[in-house]
Amino acid sequence: MTRIGIFPGSFDPFTLGHLATVRQGLRLVDELVVAVMTNTGKTSLFTAEERVAQIKVATADLTGVRVVAAPQMLTVAFAKQVGAQVIIRGLRDAADYTFENSIAVANAKMAPDITTVLLPADANNVGTSSSIVKEIAAFGGDLTPFVPANVSAALRQKFGDGM
**144-159 pLDDT, tens digit each:** 999 999 999 999 999 9
**109/120 Cα distance (integer angstroms):** 23
State the catalytic residue, choosing from 23, 56, 66, 92. Answer: 92
**89/47 Cα distance (integer angstroms):** 22
Does 158 qualify as catalytic in the annotation?
no
pLDDT of residue 41: 78
- Write out pLDDT tens, residues 99-135: 999 999 999 999 999 999 999 998 888 889 999 999 9
Residues 82/20, Cβ–Cβ less than 8 Å: no
- Is pTM, for the whole model, over 0.85? yes
Does 42 qualify as catalytic in the annotation?
yes
pLDDT of residue 20: 96
In 122-133, which positions are buried (b, 16+ CB within 10 angstroms) versus exposed (e)?
Answer: eeebeebebeeb
pLDDT of residue 159: 92
Does 130 qualify as catalytic in the annotation?
yes
- Write out pLDDT tens, residues 30-45: 999 999 998 777 889 9
| Burial class of residue 42 in the structure, from the number of CB atoms within 10 Å of its CB (0-12 exposed, 13-18 middle, 19+ buried) | exposed
Residues 86/3, Cβ–Cβ less than 8 Å: yes
State the catalytic residue, choosing from 10, 51, 89, 130. Answer: 130
The Cα angle at residue 35 between residues 154 and 6, in degrees rounded to 5 = 135
Provide the H-helix boundaries in 27-162: 48-58, 75-82, 94-110, 130-138, 149-159
Chain centroid to CA 31: how far?
15
Does 134 qualify as catalytic in the annotation?
no
pLDDT of residue 161: 60
Confidence of residue 53 (pLDDT cuts 50, 70, 90): very high
**108/121 Cα distance (integer angstroms):** 23
Q: For residue 21, is pLDDT > 60?
A: yes
Q: For residue 163, is pLDDT > 80?
A: no
Domains and CATH numbers, the chain: 4-158 (3.40.50.620)
Phi, psi of 53 (to 5 degrees): -60, -45
pLDDT of residue 40: 77
- Write out pLDDT tens, residues 63-108: 999 999 998 899 999 999 999 999 999 999 888 899 999 999 999 9
